[in-house]
Chain A
Amino acid sequence: MKLHNKHRNVELIINQELLEKISQLGIDHYPNEFGGFLIGKYSDDYNTLFITDYILPKSYKGSRSLFERSAKGTKSLFSKLFKIKKEIYVGEWHTHPNGSTRYSDIDLRAMINIESSPSVNIKNPVLLILSVSEKKLNQATFYIYENKKLIPYE
């Protein structure tokens, strides 16, 4: 699946199978929110982002309208991925059970924190929000973060 963001004129590519895998994880945790980290790499000209994998948090709390995750214990995993495959942390994903894929204020605040965090060297992390119900994925929306804003890919 190839998505385009007009605002920044960039592309995002993710294969269907990976998206389905992530969705299934979200559905399995229904009716609570669930999520994790997105792994990927940029093209040489930095115009395309390939989402290649995900990492699940080792500890998290999920309720019907909140998802709190910790990055504790994942550091070595990230560094291994980088050494072996040149893949890096590129963003976050979480579900909205029975909700829309619209981001909340809390989501935006989290992304502002992430971009300004010293361990993060990318300026445009992505956020994937999955609207899920008990048995299925309703919709998935990718957002690109830029300058305290989240802008959806088409």
Chain B
Amino acid sequence: MAISLLKRSKTSGKKKQKSPASARQWAISLTIVAIAIWAFFTYLFDKTPDAVQAWFQVWLPPSTLNESLVWVICALGLNIVVGYAGLLDLGFVAFWAFGGYAAGWFMSGFFHQVNIHFGSMSANTIPGIHLSFWLVMVIAALIAGFFGIIIGAPTLRLKSDYLALVTLGFGEIIPQVFTNGENIGGFNLSNGTKGISPIDAIGVFGKRLGPFDLGWKFLIYFFLAACMVFVSLRIRGGRLGRAWLAIREDELAASMMGVPLMRTKLTAYAVGAFSGGIGGAVYATHVNGIFAERFNFSISIILLAMVVLGGMGNVWGVIVGALLMAWINATGLPAVGDTFNNTFHTQINFPSYNFLLFGGILVLMMLFKRDGLLPEARLKMISHENDDDTSNTGGH
């Protein structure tokens, strides 16, 4: 009796969070939050008391908000590879680098030998290649996607352990190429350790977004992140998404059900790379430059931790994971550290322990909560009202 009651309350509880409406509700709520944040920082922030402004500068500066969105975009890309298809990619930073350099090449005065302008807000007289931000997004995605296929095609045949190793190597080599790319047979590919800076301002609706237009950039980054969410959910709900999950669950069974393993995995890898390219280009506009030394292993690991922390395969979980960890990385850890050091008169360098923290999170999640903070719980599409009643009374 008690059991059947319990069962019933459980199913009715599930019924409330019903069907596709809930994805839409998520989307609407998040959009409202984003617009509120934008309005606050754009219009109200300057009018708030100094104490409030100071608090935000310490605990939630606008640049951290923007950076978090960059991480969200990339984490959602990696989620397709790791979360959906179950392929362990330890070198995602390589795609980030490709995207970043695409922005460096095509949105700056770096190639000063030429003078190409297309859809950019910068003056026509400035040398270099200056393409529209949106066009550069596409180019960055295509370059990264292309290299994703080049590296994926031979390695995805390997067992998953080898895949991790090869991608790890790839993630080390590509940034090295850029770091040492100042003189490749006389050609300056990357400006080496000096990097490429500044990057052109983003133009939207005839408005030029310079380095300090954080509010508007926030909206653009939010839009791109929202596109990633949309694409992730759409693919997940279709034929390809099902095939990815099936491969993640049981590769052999998937192939016995007619799913072509190589091709399906390669698509996941390419779509992930594509998104990584976009993320990299966005990052370049966020920091207003490209600096080779920033593309290191820690980026791959932080992204992986975001996906794992949030719940592999669950888009909303990954977003939460990415926002949380991006905040800890950029603001939380330094701010907590300063507060701690001031209070206890210590001199501990908290940010330098971020690796320890993220590594620890990865290990703890793997040990105790493999499904992540928000495990992927698919929603019931139809209500089982009558069925439940009969099965409950019949069963007990």
Q: Do A and B come from one complex?
A: no
Which residues of A line the B interface, CB within 8 A? none
Which residues of B line the A interface, CB within 8 A? none
